[in-house]
């Protein structure tokens, strides 16, 4: 049995912008792809190589240190097989420099092949192996349909006349992916580096979610838990949490098909964030429990002291197996048994949760702090709207400034 402590890592400086402006993000190369969910596609390729490696979709992001690439295949294969995989990168954005791929389709400064990277800036194919760690891939050496890798933006040449010189000096780079394992598939696309955007204020997860089994309204809500596989029947993968004035919302994704609403899976809520009160389990003192379709009071220290009011919890989908689920909890939930009859069971602005799957064979625990505005602490000289956003905040950054005025002007005059 494993117990995971989930830390809510909120990166307020996340920019998902138009394709030509790139996406600023910090991606962990670990074969878990939850941190790609809000990154847009930069290229797609149809089914055109059914007997070999057949590229499907590509996403690209960057931070100050790395360029990250996510790719999917139409069918399981190994795209890092060594002699058959060629990933060319035009690091200066100039066709005339570097190795001329396909007679001038791209001028490659960097080649990725197998587990390593190679210099090509002087016009030759593989002019020397670049430093270890220049490229990191996951998964590697296996057949699958989804992969991710990163490239060091500070990569430097290893042979004259580029020894010690940057091989990626431009913010505008070009990729050409070529697989040649008897049959061929090629994809070429450009990418412009994104700069870290300014943080206008504290992050917020204030949002109203419709519990209907359609997960589109979870876009850009950060993960509070990203868990590795534990090979249990109920195996947590990604958990996201949000709230509005009335509800707490939870999204869950699992490894493999599962039904998380059975008597073997328990969701404990420490509503006062005090381990010394309520029913003790792992590192929470639970004021109430969700099991199956219902919620149950535990504030007096017992397991299931009475069924909470109908509608306290809403779940979708329910009564079926799937990999994705969502549910809501009434923030105004009241106790039903003495001495907590009619007493609120969520009394702290920060609560702690312990989700225990498959009789405790997978346990994830994490904190969540409620927000009661989409722009907490924002200065709003003209007032706020119903969500707490300053009136006149046209670009959604919680600040009314010249950028909003420019958008206002463009609405009338065009770009």
| Residue keyed to tokens 């003790």 | 280
Looking at every residue in the chain, the average pLDDT score rounds to 89
Between 253 and 198, residue with greater pLDDT: 253
Please report, for the chain, the start and end positions of each structural domain, with discontinuous segments joined by +: 18-192, 215-369
Report the DSSP beta bridge partners of residue 350.
Answer: 369
Beta-carbon contacts of residue 253 (< 8 Å; ≥ 6 apart) = 34, 237, 238, 239, 323, 324, 325
Q: Please state, as a whole number, how many other Cβ atoms lie within 10 Å of the Cβ of residue 323.
A: 12
pLDDT exceeds 50 at position 16: no
Which of 195-199, 282-286, 411-415 is predicted least confidently?
411-415
pLDDT on residue 411: 60
Q: What is the pLDDT of residues 67-112, one digit of tens each?
A: 999 999 999 999 998 778 999 999 999 999 999 999 889 999 999 9
pTM here? 0.55
Whether domain 18-192 has CATH 3.40.30: the reply is no
The secondary structure of 332-390 as a DSSP string is: T-BB-STTSBT-BS---SEEEEEEEETTTTEEEEEEEE--SSSSTT---TT-B-TTSPB
pLDDT exceeds 60 at position 19: no
Alpha-helical (H) ranges within 98-195 are none
Q: How far apart are CA 28 and CA 26, in angstroms?
A: 7
Whole-number Cα distances in Å, 336 to 269, 293, 299, 318: 16, 17, 10, 25
pLDDT on residue 378: 72
Q: Please state, as a whole number, how many other Cβ atoms lie within 10 Å of the Cβ of residue 122.
A: 16
Q: How far apart are CA 33 and CA 138, in angstroms?
A: 10
Q: How far apart are CA 48 and CA 59, in angstroms?
A: 19
User: What is the pLDDT averaged over residues 330-355?
Assistant: 98
Confidence tier at 12 by pLDDT (50, 70, 90): very low
Closest C-alpha to 157, from 176, 135, 131: 131
């Amino acid at each position: 049995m494993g117990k995971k402590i989930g830390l809510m890592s909120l990166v307020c400086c996340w920019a998902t912008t138009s394709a030509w402006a790139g996406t600023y993000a910090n991606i962990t190369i670990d074969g878990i792809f939850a941190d790609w969910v809000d990154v847009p596609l930069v290229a797609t390729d149809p089914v055109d190589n059914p007997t070999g490696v057949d590229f499907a979709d590509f996403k690209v992001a960057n931070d100050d240190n790395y360029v990250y690439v996510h790719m999917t295949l139409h069918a399981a294969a190994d795209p890092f097989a060594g002699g058959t995989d060629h990933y060319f990168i035009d690091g200066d954005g100039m066709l005339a420099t570097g190795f001329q791929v396909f007679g001038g389709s791209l001028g490659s400064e960097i080649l990725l092949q197998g587990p390593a990277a190679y210099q090509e800036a002087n016009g030759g194919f593989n002019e020397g192996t670049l430093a270890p760690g220049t490229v990191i891939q996951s998964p590697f050496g296996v057949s699958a349909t989804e992969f991710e890798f990163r490239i060091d933006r500070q990569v430097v040449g290893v042979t004259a006349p580029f020894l010690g010189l940057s091989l990626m000096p431009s913010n505008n780079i070009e990729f050409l992916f070529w697989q040649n394992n008897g049959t061929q598939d090629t994809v070429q696309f450009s990418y412009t580096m994104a700069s870290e955007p300014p943080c206008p204020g504290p992050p917020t997860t204030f949002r109203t979610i419709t519990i209907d089994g359609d997960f589109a309204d979870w876009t850009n809500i950060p993960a509070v838990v990203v868990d590795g596989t534990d090979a249990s029947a109920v195996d947590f993968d990604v958990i996201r949490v949000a709230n509005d004035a009335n509800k707490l919302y939870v999204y869950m994704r699992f490894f493999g098909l599962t039904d998380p609403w059975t008597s073997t899976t328990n969701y404990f809520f420490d509503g006062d964030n005090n381990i010394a009160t309520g029913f003790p389990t792992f590192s929470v003192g639970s004021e109430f429990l969700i099991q199956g379709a219902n919620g149950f009071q535990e504030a007096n220290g017992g397991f299931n002291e009475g069924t909470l009011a109908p509608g306290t919890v809403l779940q979708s989908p329910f009564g079926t197996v799937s990999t994705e689920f969502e549910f809501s909890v009434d923030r105004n939930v009241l106790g039903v048994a003495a001495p907590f009859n009619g007493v609120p069971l969520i009394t702290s602005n920060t609560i702690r949760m312990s989700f225990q799957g498959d009789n405790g064979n997978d346990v994830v625990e994490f904190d969540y702090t409620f927000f009661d505005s989409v722009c907490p602490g924002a200065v709003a000289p003209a007032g706020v709207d119903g969500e707490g956003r300053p009136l006149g905040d046209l670009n959604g950054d919680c600040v009314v400034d010249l950028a909003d005025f420019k958008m206002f002007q463009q609405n009338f005059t065009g770009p």
